[in-house]
Chain A
Amino acid sequence: MKLKIASKKTLANFINLLIKKEDRRLIGPKRKDKENVVFAPISSWDELCLANTVTLLPPKQFLFPNGEELIRFEMEGKEVKRVYSSLELEPQIIIGVRPCDIHGILHLDKIMNAENADCYYIKRREATLIIGLDCLEPLDDYCNCASFNTLEVTEGFDLFLTEAKDRYYIRIGSPQGEALLANCDEIIEAKEEELKELYKKRSLLFPRHLKLSVEELPAFLASDKVYNHPYWEELGRQCLSCGSCNIVCPTCYCFDVREEMSLALNTGSKCRYWDGCHLGSFAQVAGGFNFRGKTFERVRHRMYRKGKYQVEKYNQVACVGCGRCARACLVNISPVTTYNNLAQSAYIAQKGDER
């Protein structure tokens, strides 16, 4: 993969040119208020916030929008006249996507392309270019990419920026990415060694909070002792079932399907809305029976889904260590702390058995 370099000013000009071209909208991190940065449409380089801040939500919403229309139908009285599916696609470039979020997108790519491929996601993804943004230091204390091996990215982007003082290294990740740079004479070839030098100190700056290795996580969770551990009930007493963790997660994609009618009752649509397995009614069936009626069962389901179930299905741990769920949680539940506490108490219990 080719490496280039540009001054900040050159990159700014390049981004402004991309915006001017108008064949794709540009989405990037933008300051929403004093505390929060969000992914939003960008109309100039100055609006971009590439500072060390984690966005409130991952860029998932631009590939898997909340409330996406699945089908549309036309009615004449009670009679349905036409049912079809229509997709409004807006070609886009998402800039400023951090390594953890690129891993999140790669995870969704895998799932949405698996059996019963999701045409909506796939079409949006195909119309999207990703310009990643490297992390040279953790954005805050919640960052856990080092624990989940998601700091390094080798795919899932078209271009990838690494900031170095007043310049940006630009890694080319795809022919489309390379095409974007065509005719930008001021963006020149760079040496790999320079970037390696930048990376030298990096690993020391990213602490591994997770006491298990990510590879041993699924096997660890497979133990009955861990599944039936009383710690889950303790978490269940804390969890408010608010579903914030689901909403901010780059790899959560569960959804509800709802039907909506126009006021004139002559057209309607079926739309999917983000849903969350932490919400009380998620596994409830008609008639009221709830297959995960207890809060602790739902906490456990999510932690197992991230650390075990998705691995069994898609061969990938579904936590990318972005830390958003822990930041959003009102009672400070985090996957890393949960796994660590279980590992510690399982270890203690094991020692106890040996005695």
Chain B
Amino acid sequence: MEIQSAYIPEIAEILEIRQFTEKERFYRLKLLSGKPLNNQPGQFVEVTVFGVGEAPISVSSPPSSTEPVFELCVREVGSVTTALTYLAPGDKVGIRGPFGKGFPVEEFKGYDILFIAGGLGIVPLRSLIKYTLEYRHCFGFLDILYGTRTPGDILFRDELISWRNRQDLNLLLTVDIGYRGWIGNVGVITTLFPLLRKLEPVQTKVAVCGPPVMYKFIIRELRDIGIPDENIYFSLERKMKCGLGKCGHCQINNVYVCQEGPVFNYALIKQLEEAI
């Protein structure tokens, strides 16, 4: 008996692949159904490489209500993401989603926004950054803090250059380990805070995405500036197997990250043990 199931993926064709770093690649894909993905910034999809498996990947492009095209940036780290490196434009993958709750863009409107990205955290944040640039007049000043391990790990370089040239946006970069030729800041992401302009704490919404270890240090800095907890949004990484709130892998206490996250308001999750 054939049945309708939430596990049947849509088929998407790879339009373009760009190698960003040794381990990270950028993929532009198109849903063969012709329908837009309809993602919110911060949501994720489950990507299937047929015959290998499925993995949760953040969507990196801003929402589009018309185009069936979307973008991912993937680090080669497990079996599915490694299999993705063997694919070429024209090859097809399966896509389920988008899943979960993204950044509440409507609530961000009228506010200054501080983006804080560590490493691959720039991938989901790029979706939000591009959204705010698309609807620039709806938002106040934009500050972006972006840290990577080395200068060679910096992603979306072309876009960073164009952002850096804008007057209505302040981009600060740092690397943990600099090498010859790097004239920017060296140090963990919190070393960028002293370089940040003076923010209006209650007028600022903060979107943070990075490795788990980063969050505690970021919270300390944001509290020092006086940013209220309810203005801070975190995107949390977990192992989402089903995306449907059933398989249990992404559970933090009583919260299913694939349903109620991956983006959470800090005020709501600070009591949640194990979250950060």
Contact = CB atoms under 8 A, between A and B. Distances in A.
B3 A253 contact: no
Contact of B249 (A254, A258, A297): A254
A87 B2 CA distance: 6
B65 interface: no
Given A116-B245, A275-B249, A292-B274, A79 B92 contact: yes
B51 A261 contact: yes
Secondary structure type dominating chain B contacts: loop
Interface stretch (B129-137, B175-183, B194-202, B233-241): B233-241
A49 to B, nearest CB: 32
Interface residues of A, number: 56
A123 B3 contact: yes
Contacts of B253: 304, 309
Interface string A47-83: 0000000000000000000000011010100111001
Interface stretch (A19-27, A191-199, A283-291): A283-291
Nearest to A287: B77
Contact of B254 (A265, A275, A282, A312): A312
Contacts of B6: 116, 119
A165 interface: no
B110 interface: no
Contacts of B259: 115-116
B11 A120 contact: no
A227 B271 CA distance: 12
B187 interface: no
A259 interface: yes
B66 interface: no
A268 to B, nearest CB: 5
Interface of A: 70-71, 73, 75, 78-80, 83-89, 111-112, 114-116, 118-120, 123, 227, 253-259, 261, 265, 268, 270, 272, 275, 277, 282-287, 289, 291-292, 297, 301, 304-305, 308-310, 312-313
22 contacts: A73-B50, A84-B2, A85-B5, A86-B2, A87-B2, A115-B245, A116-B6, A227-B273, A254-B248, A257-B53, A259-B50, A259-B51, A259-B54, A268-B51, A270-B53, A285-B238, A286-B75, A286-B78, A291-B238, A291-B252, A309-B253, A312-B254
Q: Lowest 7 A-B CB distances belong to which pairs?
A: A254-B248, A309-B254, A85-B5, A116-B244, A286-B78, A70-B7, A259-B53
